[in-house]
């Protein structure tokens, strides 16, 4: 059994025990690595005997800042080490999930509590929680906690993304552990961390600023009972989170922090120390990676981190569902509301401000548009307004090329995930951001109607948005506007909650055009009747012409003008498949229409196969005819860059229709399962 010592990762090392049973070459290297890493971990070498654990431990809490470690001369089994590191990874993953499930819009005490509760639960499940002093397992657990922390620090310090992830999840874990600790603990920890000077505000200061402190304490979103509390003063730089939301009173650079917020100073210290340590560690990690015993552990951690990322997240590179410019219009109904909104605005105003161009631009890139196509797209849309080709080249083309990493830092910008979109809030005249967060209720409902969301779901979506559960709202919208069966959880919420607009787009396109009917069949529990109807739907798809082939003629035939919805102001393309011919079906807003809406529409087609469809599916969006017209001839003549791909995609697209059961009508049983209010 191979044994290694964590002295390798952690400082406080005088004689590394593993030196005794390592090959000479390896041990020299490892020893060097140890010293580097010791420095990297941001830890001053301390004399044996001084340990963070004993002094930072109180009866109430165990929340180490990991400034130094008690791991010395302790040998670990390598597999055991890997195991505890992966246990911690699970806890941090749980912290991440808890945060993204919590309502972002509100920073309510309840939301914060919920996050902390789930982190503590995950901690217990992984056996990483620290029992109170006196418990015989405590020492073991503390060692396990430290070992796992330092291992993750080493494993996940290489890239910016890893560092940020570790920083924010460790920070969440730290604050969860900090809960319930008193100001006394906080002040001690700050002192230990060589942190900023924190002073108890004097009675005369409190008297002088009584009115101001009271005004801050009484605002909504702040906790009651701040009156009579102690205040501590600290330099404003130390409490950025409190400054940002105006949660403290400031006087000449000093923040007056109420007693209960003193813990925030500690967690901000934790964050900045860890951030610093991670950057330093990233410079030395190559040495640890070079050690034959450490490398497998670190690699395993990285793999586990990435594996779960792939399952959960969206990987633009892995996307097979790429579209080109000619397919943009038919793909509009598969876009999430944030993108639909910007597309609509762009086509109304022939302009988008910088933040919108960026958000939509990288999204379209993620959808598959190449740089030339993107430039053509933006140039055409802007060209319909006041911006001619010349001005476009001068003022905007740089931006678009920048999205593709052809300018500036030459960094290939990744499409933004939901969290970033939610937090990038639009200013006046801007249309970026998350509509579920930004739109006022009436406008949100209107927008949802205009993309053909099931009218029964609209109030639920609006309510979720109001609560601040933007992604859940988006998930319900997905379930009630995209075709197919949508699995739900016990709470009645859809199982699929989008975390990335491109992921939404791919999922929606799979449902609309996937070659394999299983792809989005999350629900395996389908009865015979459903199977039959699904089969009918498959047949119907055979006959269903590839939507875009019908071209703009069909679009014009189906023009609907509905003054109620902003999306439909101009020539409205009522469904690219030519399915929704009636405005009543497109935009139902009465219960009667809603009922009609839910029943399948069956039509005969040329080859006598019945066509089944869910009318709620296609969005009513203005078509981008100019682009089509501009592109189609070149597609035919074959001199366009994307011509080949266009053909391929079209074929795949038809195949998708062939094999798809996604457009089957909702049977009563499915209705029960599908999300409905």
Partner 1 sequence: MPTAPTSSPALNSKPAPVPIAGDLSGKLGWYYARIFPASQFTRWLRYGNDDTLSRREISFTLPGDIYLRWKSFPTPSKLLDSLKSLTPIKIDIGAIYNFPPADKNSVSAPLTPMEKELVFDIDMTDYEDVMGALAGGSAVEVCDRNWPYMATAVKVIDAALREDFGFRHILWVYSGRRGIHCWVADARARRMTNEQRSAVADFLYLRFEGRENAGRRQNEVTVPLHPSLARAKRVACEKTFRQFVLNDQGMLDGDERLRRMLAVVPNAAVADGIYQRLASSAGLSGPDKWDRIEKELLRAGKSDYGVRATVDYIMFKHTYPRLDVNVSKEINHLLKAPFCVHPKTGRVCVPFRATEVDGFLPGEMAPEVGSLLAEMKEVDGEVRGSGPASDLMLEGVKVFEEFVNAVEDEARSAQRKKKLEALDQRQAAELLVS
Among the listed ranges 44-52, 82-90, 178-186, 212-220, the one in contact with partner 1 (CB under 8 A) is 212-220
Q: Applying CB under 8 A, which of residues 100, 108, 399, 676 lies at the interface with partner 1?
A: 399
Nearest approach, Cβ of 483 to partner 1 (angstroms)? 30
* Contact yes or no for 34/59 (Cβ under 8 A): no
Q: Applying CB under 8 A, which of residues 225, 427, 563, 668 lies at the interface with partner 1?
A: 427
- Indicate the SS3 state at residue 382: helix
Task: Decide the pairing of beta strands 75-77 and 3-5.
Answer: antiparallel
Nearest approach, Cβ of 556 to partner 1 (angstroms)? 29
Nearest approach, Cβ of 599 to partner 1 (angstroms)? 35
- Indicate whether 455 belongs to the interface with partner 1 (CB under 8 A): no
Closer to partner 1 by Cβ: residue 243 or 545: 243
Among the listed ranges 4-12, 152-160, 300-308, 431-439, the one in contact with partner 1 (CB under 8 A) is 431-439
What is the rounded distance in angstroms from the CA atom of residue 103 to the CA atom of residue 99? 8
Nearest approach, Cβ of 272 to partner 1 (angstroms)? 8
Q: Applying CB under 8 A, which of residues 82, 172, 291, 430 lies at the interface with partner 1?
A: 430
Q: Applying CB under 8 A, which of residues 428, 528, 606, 637 lies at the interface with partner 1?
A: 428
Q: Footprint of partner 1 on residues 227-286 (CB under 8 A)?
A: 236-237, 240-241, 243-246, 249-254
What is the rounded distance in angstroms from the CA atom of residue 593 to the CA atom of residue 588? 5
- Indicate whether 402 belongs to the interface with partner 1 (CB under 8 A): yes
- Structure tokens, 313: 């997240």
Closer to partner 1 by Cβ: residue 48 or 408: 408
Nearest approach, Cβ of 333 to partner 1 (angstroms)? 23
Q: Applying CB under 8 A, which of residues 440, 495, 525, 529 lies at the interface with partner 1?
A: 440
- Indicate whether 463 belongs to the interface with partner 1 (CB under 8 A): no
Find, among 409, 395, 323, the residue nearest to 364 by Cα.
323
- Indicate the SS3 state at residue 602: coil
Q: Applying CB under 8 A, which of residues 194, 441, 525, 527 lies at the interface with partner 1?
A: 441
- Indicate the SS3 state at residue 449: helix
Nearest approach, Cβ of 245 to partner 1 (angstroms)? 8
Among the listed ranges 388-396, 572-580, 610-618, 661-669, the one in contact with partner 1 (CB under 8 A) is 388-396
- Indicate whether 220 belongs to the interface with partner 1 (CB under 8 A): yes
Closer to partner 1 by Cβ: residue 134 or 220: 220
Closer to partner 1 by Cβ: residue 304 or 569: 569
* Helices 501-513 and 470-481, packing angle to 10 deg: 10
Q: Applying CB under 8 A, which of residues 23, 139, 197, 398 lies at the interface with partner 1?
A: 398
Please work out the total of residues on this chain that contact partner 1, with binding judged by CB under 8 A. 45
User: Please, which residues have CB within 8 angstroms of residue 651's CB and are 6 or more apart in sequence?
Assistant: none
Among the listed ranges 75-83, 118-126, 423-431, 578-586, the one in contact with partner 1 (CB under 8 A) is 423-431
* Contact yes or no for 497/471 (Cβ under 8 A): yes
Residue 410 Ramachandran class (φ > 0 left, ψ -120 to 50 alpha, else beta): left
* Contact yes or no for 659/517 (Cβ under 8 A): yes
Please report, to the nearest 10 degrees, the dihedral formed by the alpha carbons of residues 283, 285, 287, 290 taken in order: -140
Give the chain's length.
677
What is the rounded distance in angstroms from the CA atom of residue 515 to the CA atom of residue 591? 35
Nearest approach, Cβ of 512 to partner 1 (angstroms)? 29
How many beta carbons lie within 10 A of that of residue 394, not counting itself? Answer: 11
* Contact yes or no for 481/494 (Cβ under 8 A): no
* Contact yes or no for 501/421 (Cβ under 8 A): yes
Phi and psi at residue 497, to the nearest 5°: -115, 120
Name the site residues for partner 1 (rule: CB under 8 A). 212, 214-216, 218-221, 236-237, 240-241, 243-246, 249-254, 354, 394-396, 398-399, 402, 407-409, 425-431, 438-443
């Amino acid at each position: 059994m191979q044994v290694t010592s964590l002295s390798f990762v952690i400082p406080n090392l005088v004689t590394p025990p593993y030196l005794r049973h390592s090959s000479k070459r390896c041990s020299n290297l490892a020893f060097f690595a140890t010293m580097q890493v010791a420095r990297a971990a941001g830890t001053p070498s301390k004399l044996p005997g001084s340990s963070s654990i004993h002094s930072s431990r109180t009866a109430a809490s165990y929340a180490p800042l990991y400034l130094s470690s008690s791991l010395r001369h302790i040998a670990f089994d390598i597999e055991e080490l890997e195991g505890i590191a992966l246990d911690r990874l699970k806890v941090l993953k749980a912290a991440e999930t808890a945060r993204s499930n919590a309502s972002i819009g509100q920073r309510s005490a309840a939301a914060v509590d919920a996050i902390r509760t789930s982190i503590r639960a995950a901690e217990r499940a992984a056996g990483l929680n620290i029992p109170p002093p006196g418990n015989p397992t405590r020492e073991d657990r503390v060692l396990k906690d430290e070992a796992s922390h330092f291992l993750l620090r080493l494993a996940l310090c290489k890239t910016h993304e890893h560092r940020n992830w570790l920083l924010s999840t460790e920070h969440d874990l730290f604050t969860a552990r900090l809960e319930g600790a008193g100001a006394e603990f906080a002040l001690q920890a700050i002192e230990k961390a060589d942190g900023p000077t924190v002073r108890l505000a004097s009675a005369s200061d409190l008297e002088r600023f009584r009115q101001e402190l009271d005004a801050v304490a009484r605002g909504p979103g702040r906790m009651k009972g701040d009156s009579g509390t102690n205040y501590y003063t600290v330099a404003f730089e130390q409490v950025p989170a409190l400054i940002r939301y105006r949660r403290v009173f400031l006087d000449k650079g000093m923040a007056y922090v109420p007693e209960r917020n003193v813990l925030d100073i500690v967690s901000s210290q934790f964050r900045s120390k860890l951030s610093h340590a991670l950057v330093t560690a990233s410079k030395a990690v190559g040495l640890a990676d070079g050690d034959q015993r450490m490398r497998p552990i670190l690699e395993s951690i990285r793999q586990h981190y990435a594996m779960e990322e792939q399952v959960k997240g969206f990987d633009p590179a892995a996307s097979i569902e790429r579209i080109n410019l000619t397919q943009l219009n038919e793909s509009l109904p598969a876009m999430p509301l944030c993108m639909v909104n910007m597309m609509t605005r762009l086509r109304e105003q022939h302009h988008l401000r910088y933040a919108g161009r960026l958000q939509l631009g990288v999204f379209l890139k993620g959808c598959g548009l190449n740089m030339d196509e993107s430039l053509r797209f933006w140039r055409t849309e802007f060209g319909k307004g006041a911006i001619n080709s010349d001005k476009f080249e001068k003022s905007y083309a740089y931006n678009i090329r920048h999205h593709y990493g052809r300018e500036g830092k030459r960094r290939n910008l990744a499409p933004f995930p939901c969290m970033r979109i939610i937090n990038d809030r639009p200013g006046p005249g801007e249309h970026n951001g998350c509509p579920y967060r930004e739109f006022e209720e009436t406008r949100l409902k209107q927008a949802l109607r205009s993309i053909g969301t099931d009218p029964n779901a609209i109030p639920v979506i609006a309510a979720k948005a109001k609560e601040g559960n933007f992604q859940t709202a988006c998930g319900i919208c997905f379930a009630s506007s995209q075709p197919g069966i949508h699995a739900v959880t016990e709470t009645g919420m859809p199982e699929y909650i989008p975390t990335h607009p491109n992921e939404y787009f791919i999922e929606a396109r799979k449902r609309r055009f996937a070659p394999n009917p299983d792809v989005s069949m999350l629900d395996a529990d389908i009865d015979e009747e459903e199977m039959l109807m699904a089969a009918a739907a498959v047949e119907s798809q055979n006959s269903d012409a590839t939507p875009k082939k019908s071209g703009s003629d069909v679009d014009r035939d189906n023009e609907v003008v509905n003054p109620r919805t902003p999306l439909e102001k101009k020539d409205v393309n009522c469904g690219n498949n030519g399915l929704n011919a009636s405005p009543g079906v497109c935009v139902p807003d009465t219960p009667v229409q809603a009922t009609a809406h839910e029943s399948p529409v069956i039509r005969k087609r040329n080859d006598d196969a019945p066509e089944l469809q869910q009318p709620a599916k296609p969005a009513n969006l203005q078509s981008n005819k100019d682009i089509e017209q501009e592109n189609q001839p070149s597609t035919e003549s074959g001199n366009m860059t994307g011509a080949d791909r266009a053909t391929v995609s079209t074929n795949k697209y038809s195949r998708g229709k062939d094999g798809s059961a996604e457009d089957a009508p909702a049977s009563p049983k499915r209705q029960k399962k599908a999300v409905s209010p």
